[in-house]
Structure 1
């Protein structure tokens, strides 16, 4: 096959994959923020039913006067909402442990496309049921069971893992694959930003129920886009063997327990170091995301839903711009390991500013200094994919899906628990805890950077073979 036809095939697969990913993440984050605001208002109404402003979505619940009754009431509601979010996180994360183990490895046998459909189906069903619940005024404690359905179908975690497998099928190992992964990360992040932005305005104009209905419609659009994604592996490439759950678990663990002698550079210690950095970065970023809306709704910021949408769009937009433009340029000077390290430093600075922030100026500066922050995850994914042979990409990204799901579950619980218990005396405590996670990731990334530089220096040497006759 010529390089032109191969490139055309890659684009025919990658472009609809990007559209599906954009719509899926726009739907997910739109729904997440609409649900957070709806639950916040619902708990406020239940706790203080006689307040005349209880059903508004503006700043009426928020005051910076810490001695006032309104301030104490706001803290109580935030505490209750944070605890509720823990239940949702458990309903989402626990079944994902099973689905993330199975789906990515199964895609090596049955193809990638069916599992893209399953993940999108789960999100569609959850968004539809929550939309129905909001319009019908059902209890918000039905939301965790609805979220359970999404978790069983794999949610966005499996979608990312399968999409990474597709990208690995289409590209060769190295900077080309890392760039494709970076573009994919940009698309998913841009979709999230648009979803949050749209949610803020729809909630302000029409209410949380209509924002959730929009989320359901966008999820359907993602489902339709998946229909146009060609299968990226042929029947001859699929592993023709009977599925074994234990066997797939063993394949996932092998990356971190033994070296692969058949693939150069596939060393156990590199996988362990890379996945540890991945874990701590994900714990920090997912944990912060799980409680950031409540953090901005409360004092001293008192953001409206519309303002939260604008802020989150600006924050992720700076990072996505770097993903789109900066990585290609930085690859001229740095390897993937170096870009991941710089990105992690950017995230550390951003989290510290969020933690100590007392005015909106801190948040604005944090957006700028954290603009490199999104690059660390795709760079680590590219590093790990580069160390893995083609026939094991599904198992490798399956292992990352398991890790990402566990991180999502743990970080949401940790974030909600820390925030609910510390909001009354220092609201930025959770950001300091997550900064500590990023510092640990920085230490692990230093090992990868050092190894990368050593390998680069070795290229300058020529092996000299002694002549036995001399």
Structure 2
């Protein structure tokens, strides 16, 4: 038995390690590319509007003027509004095709396997980064970044890639705290990749320029494609969806409408074969997921512009260091803190505490007027990233093995909607409110986090009720077994007396 378990663990690691490495490269490439493209677009718009101030050093001084009545400060606001509107176009180019690809890919992986879709997502990211590198080297129009991003969206981007990777983890692990921990470790890996991408973007841009920074993104994307080739297929034939269909369903072919119906079943009716698969729990969990994702992705979409402007006036290099430290605190908590907290809390409780941490961080960002506020926010919000993997673990725990792809497909659809809407919301709010209160967007997103907090409270109450019910059931079972043993002993004594 021990040998079997050790061989299974080693087999899981042979899959989990290359999956983590490939995802690490993918997210490093993506985040580095986002920051590089944003910085390059900022400087491009500045040069177009104010050609006499095209020098980077003078530009940095001008758009960071803290005097709100000066011409330099007003010029900086015009550039920030232009960049915010450009980011809306990029978000739409990525998000619209992802509505369909995220809907299809994860659910299709329950039938066709995981690996083809992992490879497709990495390939799309690679093509986009190569084209954007060429565009920056050749000084093409920055609005061409939108069709390049469209290619990434058609191939699934990081949204579908992440959903498929979660399906792989569910194939490798058993439901419960073990799976939640693996998801947390995986989240640490891609979060660390994101932090490293941010760090690279600042230093490479400062030392070599935007063109070489985007070339680094291309190299990381190519590495992701190569490593993905070594990730084996994890979906067993017995767990493929067609093998769980009976009767007429067994003859049905995959259709887009049927796929949508399969995904919506989680949120429209209870699963009679799985007592934990309750409709209200799925709806509550995905509602919390949506609120949290809108807040975090929305803040990510405009945080670089927020830090570039007054009163912080961060340079690209300083932004990279700050973002790396901020993400690093959260990732270290996920790697170490979740394992320790699992001894005292269920997944629902950890998600709740994590969300409270995020609310405090966003409020400090919104009201901050000095760097000290940002530093305090980094420490206070160190638990913030743990809520999403915990919710993913909760929903995976409620789902049977042959429907994991469909469930994570529903999360991919939700994540894409959040990615699309949050980018638009963040850019729109920031561009319209930067003139009178720069922190408005963070306070709005803190409101979204509060709505997620309400949903998590319901899940925590239900988990406590189920935990108490399980303890009560165990006591009853123990009492019944003791009664049965007592009855058996009395029967044996009676038979002995009859024999005498």
| Aligned residues of 1:57 and 1:305 also touching (Cα < 8 A) | no
Trace 1:33-182 onto structure 2 (pairs within 5 A): 33-54=35-56, 58-182=60-184
Aligned-pair CA distance for 1:54: 4.9
* Alignment check: 8 A CA contact 1:44 1:54 kept: no
Aligned length: 466
In the alignment, which residue of structure 1 is the partner of 2:20?
18
Secondary structure of 1:122's partner? helix
Secondary structure, counterpart of 2:130 in structure 1: helix
- SS of the residue corresponding to residue 459 of structure 1 reads helix
Q: What are the ranges of 5 or more consecutive residues in structure 1 without an aligned counterpart?
A: none
Q: CA deviation at 1:189?
A: 0.4
Query: What is the CA deviation profile of residues 5-58 of structure 1, one whole-angstrom value per residue up to 9, with x for unaligned ones?
Result: 111111000000000011000000000000000000000001111115258774
Equivalent residues in 2 for 1:19-418, closer than 5 Å: 19-54=21-56, 58-240=60-242, 242-418=253-429
- Helix, strand or coil at the partner of 2:218: helix
Q: Deviations over 1:250-284 (max 9, x none)?
A: 01000000000101211000000000000000000
Distance 1:428 1:218 in 2: 34
Distance 1:434 1:11 in 2: 38
User: d(CA) in 1 for partners of 2:413 and 2:61?
Assistant: 39
Q: In the alignment, is the contact (CA less than 8 A) between 1:28 and 1:215 conserved in 2?
A: yes
**Does structure 1 conserve the Cα–Cα contact (< 8 Å) formed by 2:47 and 2:54?**
no
Partners of 2:180 and 2:237 lie apart in 1 by: 26
| Displacement of 1:65 | 1.1
Shifted more, 40-49 versus 53-62: the winner is: 53-62
Q: Is the 8 A contact 1:58 1:305 kept in 2?
A: no
Q: Distance in 1 between matches of 2:54 and 2:79?
A: 16
Cα distance in 2 for residues equivalent to 1:200 and 1:56: 18
TM-score by length of 1: 0.97
The 3-state SS of whatever aligns with 1:65 is coil
1:444 pairs with 2:451: no
Stretches (4+) displaced over 6 A = none
Q: 1:55 to 1:220 in 2, by over 3 A?
A: farther
Specify the SS of the correspondent of 1:18.
Answer: helix
Q: Deviations over 1:135-173 (max 9, x none)?
A: 000000101111000000000000110000000000000
Q: CA RMSD in A?
A: 1.4
Moved more, 169-178 or 49-58: 49-58
Q: Secondary structure at the match of 1:460?
A: helix
Output the CA distance in 2 between the equivalents of 1:318 and 1:98: 35
Secondary structure of 2:236 counterpart: coil
State the SS of the aligned residue for 1:23: helix
Structure with the higher helix share, 1 or 2: 2
Query: Deviation string for 1:102-128 (max 9, x for gaps)?
Result: 000110111100100110111111111
Task: Structure 2: state its 5+ residue gaps.
Answer: 243-251, 484-500
Distance 1:114 1:55 in 2: 47
State the SS of the aligned residue for 1:50: helix
Report the Cα distance in structure 1 between the residues aligned to 2:58 and 2:226, rounded to whole angstroms. 36
Cα distance in 2, alignment partners of residues 458 and 262 from structure 1: 20
Taking the aligned partners of 1:82 and 1:450, their CA distance within structure 2 comes to 41
Per-residue deviation, 1:237: 3.3
Asked if 2 retains the 8 angstrom alpha-carbon contact of 1:57 and 1:204, the reply is no
* Deviation by residue 1:325-362 (Cα, 9 ceiling, x = unmatched): 00000000000000000000000000000000101100
- Indicate conservation of the 8 Å contact 2:66/2:310, yes or no: yes
SS at match of 1:4: helix
TM-score (norm 2): 0.91
Secondary structure of the corresponding residue to residue 343 of structure 2: coil
Contact 2:46 2:54 in 1 (8 A): no
